[in-house]
Amino acid sequence: MDAQNKEVAALIEKIAGLQSAIAELPSLSPSPEVDRLFTDLVTACVPPSPVDVTKLSPEHQRMREALIRLCSAAEGKLEAHYADLLATFDNPLDHLARFPYYSNYVNLSRLEYELLARHVPGIAPARVAFIGSGPLPFSSFVLAAHHLPDAHFDNYDLCGAANERARKLFGASEDGVGARMKFHTADVADLSQELGAYDVVFLAALVGMVAEEKAKVIAHLGAHMVEGASLVVRSAHGARGFLYPIVDPEDIRRGGFEVLAVHHPEGEVINSVIVARKVVDAQLSGPLNGDAHARGAVPLVSPPCSFSTKMEAGALEKSDELATKELAF
């Protein structure tokens, strides 16, 4: 076994052990043990790795899928906890940095906007949808407050309780950002005519937690979004695919989109970003058929801006310290 194979085998063994330990926890609500295990998991998955999760054995694929579901459940509980904590302040929006990974959302949303601005020049959407917004819709808030000041955001989530928490924090004001953020409890599969109203649709990483589910969601969006509308899909790359589903750009193309760019960040921003544009069927089989986009060979792009990993890591460390002080177990 060569060095690379040994590295991959050791990583899979470590992650399988963490998955087993996490699965045995009595609760995924925030606690020192939950925090320790997920910190170990993220630490193992974030560095560049030669692992290709699409080539895992069936046994390890099942482990990975189970782990992603555990990550999703834990993430929901963490966000619900901090939504309730923030709601205790007179001005919750002044305390968003108490959430330990808030800077990640700030940087991810900035990255998504700058990729959109690069590949969809002159973009100035009037209406934006965020599918899978959760109890702490930081992404929509950051985009609305800092990057898309004229856009109205419709946030969709399956969980009514999550939307109530989000509405209490972000949608209470009748002016400013709050006036441009609405919250809807719905399954994306039940949305049809509504999707035709949006200039941009963002698809959260955990909407569709296996490849087949994700492809089905994307195909549904492609069937109902209007020609020219943009789609921003969060994905993962390398070992980060143990934390979030990996989206195949070819599934996006088959869903009726032209894939404009794929970006795999390095450093603390975990999610990859895919930017696509809705096209008509004739375009998919027409003159573009010989083009790289039409063949599914999409450009891997460099970041549109330079993030300071050192500064971001410092901000995360500070947020973690705040979080430890806030959580009482």
Domain annotation covers residue 312: no
Residues 22 and 107 in one domain: no
Residues 53 and 120 in one domain: no
Residues 146 and 77 in one domain: no
Domain annotation covers residue 125: yes
Which CATH number do you get for residue 123? 3.40.50.150
Residues 38 and 180 in one domain: no
Residues 83 and 109 in one domain: no
Pairwise CA distance, residues 317 & 268, whole Å: 12
Residues 36 and 142 in one domain: no
Residues 119 and 68 in one domain: no
Residues 86 and 112 in one domain: no
**Radius of gyration over every alpha carbon of the chain, rounded to an integer in angstroms:** 20
Q: What is the pLDDT of residue 267?
A: 80
Pairwise CA distance, residues 85 & 71, whole Å: 21
**Number of independent structural domains in the chain:** 2
Domain annotation covers residue 23: yes
Range of the domain at 23: 1-93
Q: What are phi and psi of 152, to 5 degrees?
A: -100, 135
Of 267, 282, 297, the one marking the end of a domain is 282
Of 203, 174, 175, which is closest to residue 189 (Cα–Cα)?
Answer: 203
Alpha helix (H) residue ranges in 273-308: 281-285, 292-295
Of 72, 93, 114, the one marking the end of a domain is 93
Residues 232 and 150 in one domain: yes
Domain annotation covers residue 318: no
Residues 252/233, Cβ–Cβ less than 8 Å: yes
Residues 155 and 104 in one domain: yes
Domain annotation covers residue 311: no
Residues 74 and 222 in one domain: no
Domain annotation covers residue 320: no
Query: Which amino acid belongs to residue 301?
Result: V
Of 172, 174, 165, 114, which is closest to residue 142 (Cα–Cα)?
Answer: 114
Domain annotation covers residue 205: yes
Domain annotation covers residue 58: yes
The side-by-side arrangement of strands in the sheet containing 230-235 is 181-185, 152-157, 127-131, 200-203, 230-235, 272-278, 257-263
Q: How many CB atoms lie within 10 A of CB 212?
A: 10
List of long-range contacts for 173-177, beta carbons under 8 Å, 24+ apart: 177/141, 177/144, 177/145
Alpha helix (H) residue ranges in the chain: 3-23, 32-45, 58-86, 102-119, 138-142, 160-170, 211-224, 249-254, 281-285, 292-295, 309-326
Pairwise CA distance, residues 127 & 306, whole Å: 28
Coil, helix or strand at residue 9: helix
Residues 234/271, Cβ–Cβ less than 8 Å: yes
Residues 143/134, Cβ–Cβ less than 8 Å: no
Residues 58 and 35 in one domain: yes
Can you name the residues that pair with 25 across neighbouring β-strands?
A: none
Q: From first to last of the 329 residues of the chain, give the pLDDT tens digit.
A: 588 889 999 999 999 999 999 999 999 999 999 999 999 999 999 999 999 998 999 999 999 999 999 999 999 999 999 999 999 999 998 999 999 999 999 999 999 999 999 999 888 999 999 999 999 999 999 999 999 999 999 999 999 999 999 999 987 666 688 899 999 999 999 999 999 999 999 999 999 988 899 999 999 999 999 999 999 999 999 999 999 999 999 999 999 999 999 999 988 899 999 999 999 764 554 333 334 443 444 556 554 443 333 333 333 343 344 333 333 32
